[in-house]
Chains A and B, each alone.
Chain A
Amino acid sequence: MHLGVSESMRECEYSQISTRSSTPMETPYKKKTPKKRKWEAFPGRNKFYCDGRIMMAKQTGVFYLTLVLILVTCGLFFTFDCPYLAQHLTPIIPVIGGVLFLFVLGTLLRTSFSDPGVLPRATSDEAADLERQIDVANGSTGYRPPPRTKEVVINGQTVKLKYCFTCKIFRPPRASHCSLCDNCVERFDHHCPWVGNCVGRRNYRFFYMFILSLSFLTIFIFAFVITHIILRSHRNGFLSALKDSPASVLEVVVCFFSVWSIVGLSGFHTYLISSNQTTNEDIKGSWSSKRGKDNYNPYSHGNIFTNCCAALCGPLPPSLIDRRGFVQSDTPQLAPPTNGITMYGATQSQQSHMCDQDQCIQSTKFVLQAAATPLLQQQSSEPVILTASPENGVPLPGRTSLTLGGPCTSLPLGQPTPPTSTPSLSCHEATDMLPIHGHAHNHSHPLQEPVAHHHFLTPEEVPSPPGMLHCGSPLGHSHTVQAGFYNPASQDSLHEDSVRGLVKLSSV
């Protein structure tokens, strides 16, 4: 290809890294005779059990805590309080308690184990097609970062569809990317650590029924344990009542603290369901009238009853990820487009299973390749593409916004790495790059804060880079002016320096 020897050298380096880092099952070129199920090659950060039947988030510690709390409290209630209550009041109490308990457990397990509505990532052909469309819409072959939002009018409201760099799709309305699970989820509500899973389109009703029934169960246990203690203390006195049934104290304490949070949460979700909003939308105030007079929720069916019925009794869509299907190794694929830029994007998509550390190494290599590419292409009309070397921290003017879009479409630098899961090396690499961007864009003050803080975002939706990209394009124009002052010879040496710096960085 026109990029020459150095390109093939880099390609060799590139594939060296990829075979070292990716697990055998993920390289598409290896033919394995034993058939693999799709869940084994799933690119998100989920855990699967029972041969793909059960799907949970990566961190499940809090889920086990929830389970233990519920089981222990109910166990104590049935063992210590129910016999007395059944005897002195009515045996219906343990029956109702039992039914509630089973319902709570059933809905909890259903919420935790089911697919919340994960959107499978785009195939490489789809991603390439989207790239082509975006390039065509842009009308240029330059490195100007393409706009990664699409506007759509839904029931009279303009909704922005964002492009997900990880999944390489334009997210449907109400979908969001969960940074903990690294998946785009349809009708994303929130990621619930108590349940150990995301709450989305397919398991929202179970989640709601779980918290509703748990509120009833908590109030039920609280009320009857207090009744039990009162009845006992009428007979024997308060202190001896407590001594006779010490478990009740524990139950009261647990229930007392749970009641406030669970009942509050149920109330909040009842409000959300009746107005057909997700937690995400409510927190952002997407449809609040404070944003504008004409701002209304386009998804609402009009009245509370229909909204509730639709959310709770509407049709349940099937899982889109087909966890238990078999991976087909021989799907015919188109050749990646010959445009040097998008090719990187296409090959990168095949490596999307890699862990964050490798992603970081790859992304750094992209920066390296992309930075060096215009040097070889010798396009004088292009603005000077200079990437800052993170070691000296010198704010080199130029299009560091390159890394935010354009050739490095799948660059995860634009997305914050979740604080919990990545090894420190990759985090440092990622964050080292980010402040440079803020630095280089001297007048991007409003941008510097979000860029520098990206690393510390709480686990929620990944804010998509358009915020940064919008800044990229006006800055690009200003930098062309600056670039004009540079001597081409010094540009080359600066290039080489920065490239060398990045090679050092990427060889870590």
Chain B
Amino acid sequence: MRHSASLANKVFIQRDYSEGTTCKFQTKFPSELESRIERTLFEDTVKTLNNYYAEAEKIGGQSYLEGCLACATAYLIFLCMETRYEKVLKKIAKYIQEQNEKIYAPRGLLITDPIERGMRVIEISIYEDRGSSGSSSGSSSVSGSTAR
């Protein structure tokens, strides 16, 4: 069974700045994904990501404590400990990987972690499943861009 999927299109979910500069992505369902994935699944993913980012950037007791402690130790404490933001980013990376494996990859989609795009966009790559590798590329792809 030889399936070679090639990159057909990329959809970019932009940032939602209606609540200021905090990291939040638009939950509007892009039209290119209409045939590929259910709206609710997509919205769940984006909402969960938004919640993670809100948690990372939350200004509250814990972040103040961390900030003051860091200042008191001249930020040397970050040599041994990672910031709360970094911890949440790790959680996000795991979540995205999980979502990709369970939900998006079976539908021929792939989510790229926003941190790799400078937190500007959530990039969702749409792959066309090709039956055989000999078919013409049609509208898609620069040569050499086949993804595994």
Interface residues, chain A, with chain B CB atoms under 8 Å away: 103, 106, 110, 119-120, 122-123, 125-126, 129-130, 152-155, 159, 161, 169-170, 172-174, 186-187, 209, 298-299, 306, 309-310, 312-318, 320-322, 330, 332-335
Contact = CB atoms under 8 A, between A and B. Distances in A.
Nearest to A320: B118
Given A103-B74, A315-B58, A332 B18 contact: no
Given A126-B12, A155-B19, A315 B59 contact: yes
B85 A318 contact: yes
Given A110-B75, A334-B141, A315 B84 contact: yes
Contact of A334 (B15, B115, B142, B146): B142
Interface in B102-135: 115-121, 123, 125
B83 interface: yes
Nearest to A110: B75
A333 B142 contact: yes
Contacts of A130: 12
B10 A154 contact: no
Nearest to A118: B118
Contacts of A322: 116
A119 B7 contact: no
Interface in B1-53: 7, 9-10, 12, 14-15, 17-21
Given A122-B120, A313-B67, A315-B59, A334 B85 contact: no
28 contacts: A106-B74, A120-B117, A120-B118, A125-B12, A126-B120, A126-B123, A130-B12, A153-B18, A155-B19, A172-B17, A172-B120, A186-B21, A209-B71, A299-B21, A309-B59, A310-B59, A312-B67, A313-B63, A313-B71, A315-B63, A315-B67, A315-B83, A316-B70, A318-B89, A322-B116, A332-B7, A332-B146, A333-B142
Given A129-B12, A335-B140, A154 B17 contact: yes
Interface in B57-73: 57-59, 63-64, 66-68, 70-71
B86 interface: yes
A221 B8 CA distance: 66
Contacts of B93: none
Contacts of A330: 144
Given A122-B120, A126-B12, A313-B64, A187 B83 contact: no
A123 B7 CA distance: 16
B10 A334 contact: yes
A332 B147 contact: yes
A125 B10 CA distance: 8
A49 to B, nearest CB: 19
Contacts of B142: 333-335
Residue among B20, B66, B68, B118 with max Cβ neighbours from chain A (10 Å): B118
Contacts of B120: 119, 122, 126, 169, 172
A155 B22 CA distance: 12
B114 to A, nearest CB: 10
Given A126-B12, A129-B12, 12 more contacts: A119-B120, A126-B123, A312-B67, A313-B68, A315-B66, A316-B85, A317-B85, A318-B83, A318-B86, A318-B89, A330-B144, A334-B141
A173 to B, nearest CB: 6
A332 B67 CA distance: 40
A169 B66 CA distance: 33
B68 to A, nearest CB: 6
Contacts of B18: 152-154
Residue among A153, A173, A312, A315 with max Cβ neighbours from chain B (10 Å): A315
A11 B59 CA distance: 53
Contacts of A318: 83, 85-86, 89, 115
A314 B83 contact: no
A334 B7 contact: yes
A305 B93 CA distance: 34
Contacts of B7: 332-334
Nearest to B23: A317
Nearest to A106: B74
A321 B17 contact: no
Nearest to B82: A318
Contacts of A310: 59
A173 B16 CA distance: 11
Give the 6 A-B CB pairs with smallest separation, nearest first. A313-B67, A332-B145, A120-B118, A320-B118, A313-B64, A152-B17
